[in-house]
């Protein structure tokens, strides 16, 4: 399979953390979403979560679950109005896709869904027993990888879209909740402007269509495919809500969460 071949090719490269986007000069978006022609250096987001960022109890467990959430989350620089976060280059989007594909949580999710499918005897041509579970696991893992390929790399590269989730991190809980749900429809371009989230809908539709090739038990037709697409979009919306409130959740549970940079808290009246 082409996706698995790409993963195998990039496995060695992703043994280390993918490099951060290089600082560049990007146009600053104005209030109406257009660029004002003034170029300033972009701002680097905080580094991605590492195991070393957690020094308290359940360190490995916390990093295991928080890593995928933090990897696709960025915190806008509220302390510097008008600035934009540095965009991801093509290779950075590819490394993001590969890192998520090799994440232990991806294999865990594939095993979980393979077990459910086996219990409900979905894709009956796969059979039962260890052989049947192995086939279902392979198909389930292919689902996980294909969704990430289309949504984190392919369509973001085609449409110059940033595949990351931009936390609001300020305002009321209701406003932040709606902001998280809105990400299914509104994303950021690489230059910081807003755009329709093509990768969410086209990427999910492409992955659902591709899954019919290796899931012989899938119901064909528009309605079953639309139902699977809707389920995946709702699932992504739930993860975006979790990404938005993860800092508060981790502190509420007294988990050793990485502290935000002090300069990212807009407490200077002169900056308002």
Reported as a single tens digit per residue, the pLDDT across 219-236 is 888 898 999 999 999 999
- More confident: 272 or 62: 62
Q: How far apart are CA 42 and CA 235, in angstroms?
A: 32
pLDDT: which is higher, 7 or 112: 112
Structural domain count, the chain = 1
Task: Compute the average pLDDT of residues 132-151.
Answer: 94
Confidence of residue 251 (pLDDT cuts 50, 70, 90): confident
Task: Decide the pairing of beta strands 73-74 and 165-166.
Answer: parallel
pLDDT of residue 9: 43
What is the per-residue pLDDT for 39?
Answer: 53
d(CA 40, CA 49): 27
**Per-residue pLDDT, 216:** 87
Tokens of 209: 């269509």
pLDDT of residue 35: 43
How far apart, in whole angstroms, are the C-alpha atoms of residue 255 and residue 241? 19
Give the per-residue pLDDT at 185. 96
State the burial class of residue 96 (Cβ atoms within 10 Å of its Cβ: 0-12, 13-18, 19+). buried
On the question of pLDDT at 192 being above 50, the answer is yes
- Identify the pLDDT of residue 218: 83
Return the H-helix or E-strand segment holding 142.
helix 129-148
Cα Rg of the chain (Å, integer): 20
pLDDT at 135 over 80: yes
Mean pLDDT of all residues in the chain?
76
- Residue the block writes with tokens 């739930």: 238
Range of the domain at 27: 2-271
Q: Which residue has the higher pLDDT, 181 or 47?
A: 181
Question: Is 160 a residue whose pLDDT tops 50?
Answer: yes
**Which letter does DSSP use for residue 15 in this model?**
G
Mean per-residue pLDDT, 234-242:
93
pLDDT of residue 110: 92
Across the range 118-139, mean pLDDT stands at 92
How would residue 74 be classed by pLDDT, with cut points 50, 70 and 90?
A: confident
């Amino acid at each position: 399979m082409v996706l698995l071949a790409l993963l195998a090719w990039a496995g060695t490269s992703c043994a280390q953390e993918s490099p951060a986007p290089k600082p560049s000069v990007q146009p600053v978006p104005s209030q109406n979403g257009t660029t004002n022609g003034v170029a300033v250096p972009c701002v680097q987001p905080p580094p991605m979560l590492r195991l070393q960022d957690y020094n308290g109890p359940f360190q490995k467990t916390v990093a295991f679950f928080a890593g995928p959430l933090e990897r696709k989350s960025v915190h806008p620089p509220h302390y510097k109005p008008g600035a934009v976060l540095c965009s991801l280059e093509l290779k950075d989007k590819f490394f993001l896709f590969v890192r998520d594909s090799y994440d232990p949580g991806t294999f865990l999710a594939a095993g979980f869904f393979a077990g459910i499918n086996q219990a409900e005897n979905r894709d009956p041509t796969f059979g039962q027993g260890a052989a049947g579970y192995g086939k279902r696991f392979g198909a389930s893992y292919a689902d996980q990888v294909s969704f990430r390929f289309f949504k984190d790399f392919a369509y973001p590269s085609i449409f110059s879209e940033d595949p990351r989730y931009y936390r609001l991190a300020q305002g009321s809980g209701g406003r932040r909740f709606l902001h998280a749900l809105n990400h299914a429809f509104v994303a950021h371009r690489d230059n910081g402007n807003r755009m329709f989230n093509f990768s969410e809908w086209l990427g999910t539709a492409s992955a659902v269509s591709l899954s019919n090739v290796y899931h012989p038990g899938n119901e064909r037709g528009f309605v079953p495919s639309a139902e699977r697409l809707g389920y995946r979009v709702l699932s992504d919306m739930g993860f975006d809500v979790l990404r938005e409130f993860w800092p508060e959740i981790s502190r509420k549970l007294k988990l050793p969460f990485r502290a935000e940079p002090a300069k990212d808290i807009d407490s200077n009246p002169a900056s308002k």
